[in-house]
Structure 1
Amino acid sequence: MVQHSFVSVQADPLQDVLTLVGTTSQLSIGLVAGGEWALSFRPPEAVKFNAVRRGHCLLTVDGVPEPIKMDEGDCFLLTQPRAFTLASGPGVRPIPAEPFFAAARGKAHGVARVGAGDDTVFIGGRFDFGERAQELLLDVLPPVIHVPGRTAEAAIVRWVLDQIDAELRDRPLASTLVTEHLALVMLIHVLRLHLTVAGPGAATGWLGGLTDPVVAPALQALHARPAHPWTVAQLADVAAVSRSTLAARFKQAVGRGPLEYLTGWRIELAIERLRRGDETLAMIAREVGYGSESALSNAFRRVTGSSPREYRISRMRTGSAAAAHLSG
């Protein structure tokens, strides 16, 4: 009997995907509210986050059945472009938020203000991703993730928010850059918390697979060595289960079989290299696990509907059109 030695082969799929989709962050104008108030927000163009630094409020998101009570220290991540409302409590008629934020723009350290007083204070911002983020990351998350700030698990999120507060308050050198990096740290910890606290069923697709003790080692192995000619038997050895168990659990958790997932991830890696435009198709084929350019082309067309050459040409035309628009 041939023994396979793949147990120690592991990687970090969450890190791989966040790196691949090019995550960036930007803080927005803060919000101070008092008395009875309610603001309605249009669906954001990017992934939105807000944190309650003082006070409390009620968060209502389109399509989410129940309002979410937000206490001091809580934060939320809105992963889909849905309209939402922040309010002092139930029964308050909301008014559009945009005029209050527009009035604060252009002012040094300006904040939007609504109502009477400063009972509730928010900081917020947005996360922007590359073009593949919707399918690779956002579609496998629920529309809103709420992180209660007073739990022991949220200690690092509280620390990050405290550091952002200090940077915004004192404005030391390079504070904008520091706050943007801190926001990315917060995003990673929010996603970690969502997976560990919410547990199985907290996410779908590959992200949901990371919460399955059988599927997670196989996923990590695929990401560690995507160019390796994996078999289901080898992946089952990594997960320490039978082939039939791994195949069933993987498909149930991720939505497709392990080798089908591997093909999809290899194509994502190929797409990223095609975007960079500095490698030949033969080089890309070898790096992502295909023995020849034609093998890559066949898999690429099967997954995307076009060949790697067609994809590269369309990207070059899009880039040329954008450059012409900017120069014109």
Structure 2
Amino acid sequence: MRVEPVWRSADSLGQALHLLRMSGVFYGRSEFTAPWGIELPVWPNCVMFHFVTEGPCWLEVEGTGGQWLSSGDLALVPHGTGHLLTSGPGERTTKLTDLPRELVSERYEILRHGGGGPATTVICGAVRFDDPAARQLIGLLPQVIRIGRTDSPQGDWIDATLRFIAAEAKQLRPGGDTVITRLADILVIQAIRSWIEADPAARTGWLGALQDPRIGPAIAMIHRDPAHPWTLATLAAEAAMSRSAFAARFTALVGEPAMAYLTRWRMHIAQTTLEQEDLTLNDLATRLGYQSEAAFSRAFKRVIGTPPGAHRRTH
């Protein structure tokens, strides 16, 4: 059965955002009284968020300087970078791991810290992305994304979502973890959407290519069916472009040729699968459209730098 031409497919960027399914690492409420300061550790492959529900807070991420957050502000630290939350610039900090915390559930805790002065309350969370499309998108985000309540018409909605997450975590009703994770999906996606709408940098490179009416749907087709025997000719035909025009436009927007992108995308999927599933290399090769395990292994080592078996053992 023939796939409909990709140029008829709508919202390729939306399809990429749809793949931003995540797993929660932890959520918590932090109750601070000035003066206070905490140092959050590096958290690889995670996006951390902080939502201020009361009082001011100073956020400082290495390499970006610092900025004030006020009640109603949401800040994302997309790359798991270590950072500081304090009652003001230059305040003395204590490592998060050195502070006592009240464990409410396996995923939710309450932290109380400070010197007894004016209060600040922050809902914090860390979520992890596993899908290759999610990793690709997260890798393009800036070091910090700040969404102020006054900056977005969704401010009240974000506030309600965070409060719902906190309520679910404390009540521990059946299915609560699933509800929390899905709400976090929506929350982080909304913040990323706000950044994409506001920042010109989101209209260049891979993100810009996703929004291109010809190249974006072609990328989406690769994402949806990476095992399909795509060729430059078939992708160009589906985009209703000549082969040469498609190749030039794809490379100009994405930064690499279409077939190189296809191979790299397959290898990112292979990485995730090797880390999470007990699948034979032959079955994985078949799943990704390779005719033999040897051909798959050569491609994996060329793109990732190590053989697939070694990658699995390492991770």
TM-score tier after normalising by the smaller chain length: 0.7 to 0.9
Equivalents in 2 of 1:221, 1:134: separation in Å? 16
2:161 corresponds in structure 1 to 160
The sequence identity of aligned pairs, in percent, is 31
Q: What is the aligned partner in structure 2 of residue 98 from structure 1?
A: 95
Q: Report Cα offsets for 1:97-140 as digits up to 9, x if no partner.
A: 33797233458964323244554211102123459799645432
Q: Does 1:121 align with 2:105?
A: no
| Superposition deviation, residue 260 in structure 1 | 0.8
Match of 2:39 in 1: 41
2:184 equivalent in structure 1: 183
1:13 aligns with 2:16: yes
Instruction: Give the distance between the partners of 1:198 and 1:252, measured in 2 at CA.
Output: 23
**Corresponding position: 1:256 with 2:256:** yes
How many pairs were matched up? 302
CA change 1:230–1:175 in 2 (3 A) is closer
Secondary structure in 1 aligned to 2:71? coil
CA shift in 2, pair 1:225/1:179, >3 Å:
closer
Distance 2:111 2:3 in 1: 59
1:127-182, Cα deviation, whole Å (9 max, x unpaired): 2345979964543222112222341145643332131243356x252486243442
**3-state DSSP class of the match of 2:99?**
helix
What is the correspondence of 1:276-315 to structure 2 with a 5 Å cutoff? 276-279=277-280, 281=282, 283-307=283-307, 311-312=308-309, 315=312
Residue 107 to residue 287, structure 1, CA distance change in 2 (3 Å): closer
Q: Is the 8 A contact 1:221 1:238 kept in 2?
A: no
In the aligned structure 1, how far is the partner of 2:248 from the partner of 2:148? Answer: 34
Normalising by structure 1, report the TM-score. Answer: 0.74
AA matched with 1:73:
G
Distance 1:74 1:252, change over 3 A: farther
RMSD: 3.7
> In structure 1, how many angstroms separate the alpha carbons of the residues matched to 2:208 and 2:183?
25
* 1:27 equivalent in alignment to 2:26: yes
Query: 1:38·1:85 contact (CA, 8 Å) conserved in 2?
Result: no
Instruction: Provide the rounded CA distance (Å) in 2 between the counterparts of 1:87 and 1:79.
Output: 19
Structure 2 alignment gaps of length 5 or more:
none
Alpha-carbon distance, 1:261 to partner: 0.7
Shift of 1:208: 5.0
Whether 2:154 is the aligned partner of 1:146: answer no
Indicate the structure with greater strand content.
2
Q: CA deviation at 1:33?
A: 3.2
Check whether the contact 1:27–1:126 (CA below 8 A) recurs between aligned residues: yes
Q: Which amino acid aligns with 1:82?
A: T
